[in-house]
Chains A and B, each alone.
Chain A
Amino acid sequence: MTRFLGSTLTIWLLCLASAFGAEGGHHALPLDAQKFHDWLPVTNSMIMVWIAVGLIVLFCRMATGKMSLVPVGLQNFAEWAVESLYGFLENLMGAHLTKRTFWFFGSIFFFILVSNYLGLIPGVGTVLYNGTPILRGGNADINMTAAMAFTFALLWIYWAISENGLKGFLAHIFAPKGVKGFLFWALMPLFLFVGVLEVISIAIRPVALSFRLFGNIYGGEQTLEKLMDLVPDYLAFLPSLPFYFMELLVGFVQALVFTLLCAIFLKLICDHGDEHDEHH
């Protein structure tokens, strides 16, 4: 009960602060992240990313500074978080792939989560400097989501080839599966066509990943701002109140969805490799 009241009060305060943080009435958050000056190639979303990195470093140093075999405090929480995600990915991808790729998937999940929640802090996207928001949610910038998605795309190709071999990788995409002899060659043209479609699908994946995350986070921030426009300024905090709860959920779900989809894409291409390993 105390926790429920505490979290509700926190959200109320967030709404209030957010409403009062909005300068000079209301404005629409632009689609693109803005530079402060032409000579300074730093955008407001990059500052949020650096803040996120700083907070992650701070938390990690506090949690893992004095590691002990019997965990207490932050170490306990950090271990729980890492172990839970590791177990979740292990169930999905298998022990081998998870051990090999956890550094990436773990980073993706925790960074997106921290970045999404930082975007909900009052003043992010609403406090302006020369008409430009000083801070902008990291994932409300398509450059950030695209950076993660295309990094994954490159790593996906590397992992897929290293797990299957180049021949196996191409066979996985283009070659008929489960048939031999005459049928194999008869179905080859059809599977080549399917392979081309698969390549297009693979090429689209990072774009879809980028826009899915960007759209949800940017849409969420816009929703909160637009809802404040619906009522007089002194009540601006009220309509966004339920949506703060929703955005907390969306922040977590989107981090999970991005990580999960990346893991599934990798599992699909390496599936043959894992079966091969198990047979041996």
Chain B
Amino acid sequence: MMTFLAAVAEQPGESKSLFETFGVHWAFLVAQVINFFLVILVLKKFAFGPIQAILEQRRERIVAGEEKLKRIEKQLAESEATTAAAIAKANEDAQRLIKEAKEGAASYTEQKSQEAIAQAQQILVKAEAAANADRERISAELKREFGRLVSDTTAQVTGKVLTLDDQARINEEAISKVGN
């Protein structure tokens, strides 16, 4: 600044106006204003415009990314909650099914046991009936055989031919004595 003041002081023609001393000319001033506007135009078009646009684009991208991240985190939390609920429900259903299966199995076992018992009883009844029938049949056969033997023996002892009525009467008598 001191150099500047010294230079001003050194300038010849101190009687000149301030404008003349410093070389202020309207034409040059206007020309420099035009130059300055040229600078502004160039910088605005080629520098600030594109750079601010890309900065804005980047900022929007970051904001969008942040929002997306929040959305994803929310969705993840919801998904985890849904999964946990589904697992809990599945566990509950499984427990219920197991319980139902156990109850069903017990009921089925009981039913089958009852059926088996009933079948066993039926078998016993049938077996008993069959045994009775066999016994009746064998008894009848034995009586018949015994009657025949008695008739044959009687015929051989007495030496006479027995009639059918005799045979029937002898058989009945013999059987009535044996059967009792």
Q: Indicate if A33 sits at the interface (CB-CB under 8 A).
A: yes
Option from A32, A46, A53, A79 in Cβ contact (under 8 Å) with B22: A32
Instruction: Give the complex CA separation of A205 and B25 in angstroms.
Output: 20
B-contacting 9-mer, from A59-67, A161-169, A184-192: A59-67
The 5 closest A-B pairs by CB, nearest first: A32-B23, A219-B4, A60-B46, A147-B32, A64-B50
A60 touches B43 (CB 8 A): yes
B43 touches A79 (CB 8 A): no
Q: Which chain A residue lies CB-closest to B34? A: A147
Contact status of A219 and B46, CB under 8 A, knowing A78-B51, A147-B32, A147-B36: no
Q: Indicate if B38 sits at the interface (CB-CB under 8 A).
A: yes
A52 touches B39 (CB 8 A): yes
Q: Which chain B residue lies CB-closest to A106? A: B48
A-contacting 9-mer, from B52-60, B94-102, B146-154: B52-60
A53 touches B11 (CB 8 A): no
Interface size class of A (residues with CB under 8 A): 35 or more
B7 touches A28 (CB 8 A): yes
Instruction: Give the complex CA separation of A59 and B22 in angstroms.
Output: 32
A143 touches B46 (CB 8 A): no
Residues of A within 8 A of B36 (CB): 107, 111, 144, 147-148, 151
Q: Which chain A residue lies CB-closest to B46? A: A60
Residues of B within 8 A of A32 (CB): 21-24
A143 touches B58 (CB 8 A): no
Q: Indicate if B137 sits at the interface (CB-CB under 8 A).
A: no
Instruction: Give the complex CA separation of A102 and B47 in angstroms.
Output: 12
Residues of B within 8 A of A142 (CB): 22-24
Q: Indicate if B157 sits at the interface (CB-CB under 8 A).
A: no
Q: Which residues of B, 45-82, contact A by the 8 Å Cβ criterion? A: 46-48, 50-55, 57-58, 61
A143 touches B28 (CB 8 A): yes
Q: Which chain A residue lies CB-closest to B21? A: A31
A31 touches B7 (CB 8 A): yes
B7 touches A222 (CB 8 A): yes
Binary contact track A101-141/B, C-beta < 8 Å → 1, others 0: 01110110011000000000000000000000000000001
Q: Is the interface of A mostly helix, strand, loop or mixed?
A: helix
Instruction: Give the complex CA separation of A28 and B55 in angstroms.
Output: 47
Residues of A within 8 A of B50 (CB): 64, 67
Tell me the minimal C-beta distance from B41 to chain A in angstroms: 9
A53 touches B44 (CB 8 A): no
Tell me the minimal C-beta distance from A30 to chain B in angstroms: 8
Q: Indicate if A69 sits at the interface (CB-CB under 8 A).
A: yes
Option from B7, B11, B24, B52 in Cβ contact (under 8 Å) with A219: B7
Instruction: Give the complex CA separation of A147 and B27 in angstroms.
Output: 11
A56 touches B28 (CB 8 A): no
Q: Indicate if A57 sits at the interface (CB-CB under 8 A).
A: yes
Tell me the minimal C-beta distance from A179 to chain B in angstroms: 41
Q: Indicate if B31 sits at the interface (CB-CB under 8 A).
A: yes
A50 touches B54 (CB 8 A): no
B39 touches A28 (CB 8 A): no
The contact sample of 16 A-B pairs, CB cut-off 8 A, is A28-B7, A31-B23, A46-B32, A49-B32, A53-B35, A53-B38, A64-B47, A67-B54, A69-B58, A83-B55, A107-B36, A110-B47, A141-B23, A143-B24, A143-B32, A144-B36
